[in-house]
Copies of this chain bind each other. A is one copy, B any other.
Amino acid sequence: MVDGITRADITGAALVLLTNGGLHALAMRRIAAELDVQQSALYWHFDNKQQLLAAVADLVVARVEATNARKWQNRILGLGSRLRDELLRYPDGAELVATAIAFRLGAGRPHQLFTAELTRAGMGDDDARVAASVFVHFVVGYTTDEQQHHQAAELGAIDRLDVATGRFDQGLRLIVAGAEAQIATLDAT
């Protein structure tokens, strides 16, 4: 390493900044200051800021794991719930992951895990990928909404919290029911 720092040093420092200050804290300048290097040292490892953010998003979802429930429906529910939990660990976690996915630069892990469960449950590859996207859009969208809502309340932009509990699981179950119906149709043909 010309500059003495590794990619892991950079993403690690960025994750600390994210944890303490959310997305706004993830400026290249601040990451460089955290590591006591010039900003140019960061560009030795990452072509641009979006690639660095995507690598941070990869870390955010790195601990999402398949569960070992017996029924695939419960494994999907468990996966959705773990993904939400990991996103909630970091301020703006869901927004960061949504952007990395939209840029197709990172955070592909949840989509892969959902796709694997759905093919294992009997869906064809293409259907499984589409269904996995629906699950990821729902979980990431729901959690972005949740995090933005809490932030807005903290900033005083809204004067009360409006959070209905239990809706997340209920929403996930609805999509699972759709996947079930699709798999049942396949089984019947």
On A, residues with C-beta under 8 Å from B are 48, 50, 98-99, 101-105, 127, 130-131, 133-134, 137-138, 140-142, 144-146, 148-149, 152, 157-158, 162, 167, 170-171, 174-182
**A102 with B152, Cβ < 8 A, contacts A130-B171, A133-B171 known:** yes
A63–chain B nearest beta-carbon distance, Å: 22
Find out whether the CB atom of B103 lies under 8 angstroms from the CB atom of A152.
Answer: yes
Name the prevailing secondary structure of the A interface residues. helix
Q: CA separation between A149 and B99, bound complex, in Å?
A: 9
CB within 8 A of A138: which of B105, B141, B162? Answer: B141
A6–chain B nearest beta-carbon distance, Å: 23
CB within 8 A of A177: which of B141, B142, B181? Answer: B181
Find out whether the CB atom of A167 lies under 8 angstroms from the CB atom of B102.
Answer: no
Q: CA separation between A31 and B98, bound complex, in Å?
A: 29
Q: CA separation between A158 and B53, bound complex, in Å?
A: 13
Q: Which residue on B lies nearest to A136, using beta carbons?
A: B141
A sample of 6 more A-B contacts (CB under 8 A), given A50-B152, A104-B162, A105-B158, is: A104-B158, A130-B174, A141-B141, A174-B178, A177-B181, A178-B179
Find out whether the CB atom of B131 lies under 8 angstroms from the CB atom of A174.
Answer: yes
A131–chain B nearest beta-carbon distance, Å: 6
Find out whether the CB atom of B171 lies under 8 angstroms from the CB atom of A134.
Answer: yes
Q: Which residue on B lies nearest to A103, using beta carbons?
A: B152
Chain B residues with Cβ below 8 Å from A148 are 98-99, 102-103
Find out whether the CB atom of A149 lies under 8 angstroms from the CB atom of B104.
Answer: yes
Q: CA separation between A138 and B104, bound complex, in Å?
A: 18
Chain B residues with Cβ below 8 Å from A137 are 137-138, 141-142, 145, 171
Q: CA separation between A127 and B50, bound complex, in Å?
A: 39
